[in-house]
Chains A and B, each alone.
Chain A
Amino acid sequence: MLGRGLKRKLSDYEENMAGLSSAFDSSRSLPYPLKRQLVLNMCLTKLQTYKMLVEPNLHRSVLIANTVRQIQEEMRQESNQQPVTICPGIAPASHSYTGLESPGIALQLPSGVGQQESHCCDLRSAEDPIENSLLIVSDDDMSSAISSILKDLDFVEDISPPTCLVPTGDDQPKFPENTGLKLEDDRQDLKGAECVFGSFEISNSTSYLKDLAIDDIFEDIDTSMYDSDFCCPPLMPPRSPSLATEEPLKTFPSCNSSSANNIQICRTDLSELDHIMEILVGS
Chain B
Amino acid sequence: LQVPVLRPMDLMVEATPRRVFANAHTYHINSISVNSDYETYMSADDLRINLWNFEITNQSFNIVDIKPANMEELTEVITAAEFHPHHCNTFVYSSSKGTIRLCDMRTAALCDRHAKFFEEPEDPSNRSFFSEIISSISDVKFSHSGRYIMTRDYLTVKVWDLNMENRPIETYQVHDYLRSKLCSLYENDCIFDKFECVWNGSDSVIMTGSYNNFFRMFDRNTKRDVTLEASRENSKPRAILKPRKVCVGGKRRKDEISVDSLDFSKKILHTAWHPSENIIAVAATNNLYIFQDKVN
Contact = CB atoms under 8 A, between A and B. Distances in A.
Interface in B149-193: 180-188, 190, 192
Given A2-B260, A62-B96, A171 B73 contact: no
Contacts of B183: 21-22, 24-25, 38-39, 42
B261 A4 contact: yes
Max chain A Cβ within 10 angstroms of own Cβ: one of B79, B132, B187, B192? B187
A21 to B, nearest CB: 4
A178 B46 contact: no
Contact of B185 (A2, A65, A172, A178): A2
Contacts of A103: none
Contacts of A60: 192
Interface in B64-122: 68, 70-77, 79, 96
A2 B180 CA distance: 12
B26 A171 contact: yes
B248 interface: no
A10 interface: no
Contact of B74 (A4, A39, A62, A67): A62
Interface in A43-72: 55, 57-60, 62-67, 70-71
B132 A67 contact: yes
Given A59-B79, A60-B192, A176 B70 contact: yes
Contacts of A17: 187
A21 B184 contact: yes
Contacts of B133: 63-64, 67
A104 interface: no
Interface in A1-25: 1-5, 17-18, 21-22, 24-25
Nearest to B266: A4
Nearest to B259: A2
Interface stretch (A109-117, A119-127, A228-236, A257-265): A109-117
B66 to A, nearest CB: 11
A258 to B, nearest CB: 29
A178 B72 CA distance: 6
B255 interface: no
Contacts of A179: 72
Given A3-B265, A4-B261, A173-B27, A21 B72 contact: no
A26 B181 CA distance: 8
Contacts of B180: 25-26
A3 B187 CA distance: 12
A172 B45 CA distance: 13
Given A36-B129, A171-B26, A176 B192 contact: no
Given A62-B77, A173-B27, A21 B70 contact: no
A203 interface: no
Nearest 5 A/B pairs, CB to CB: A176-B71, A24-B183, A21-B187, A5-B261, A112-B74
Given A42-B186, A64-B133, A176-B72, 17 more contacts: A3-B264, A3-B265, A4-B261, A21-B186, A25-B180, A36-B129, A39-B129, A39-B130, A58-B27, A58-B47, A59-B192, A66-B132, A67-B130, A70-B129, A111-B75, A173-B28, A173-B46
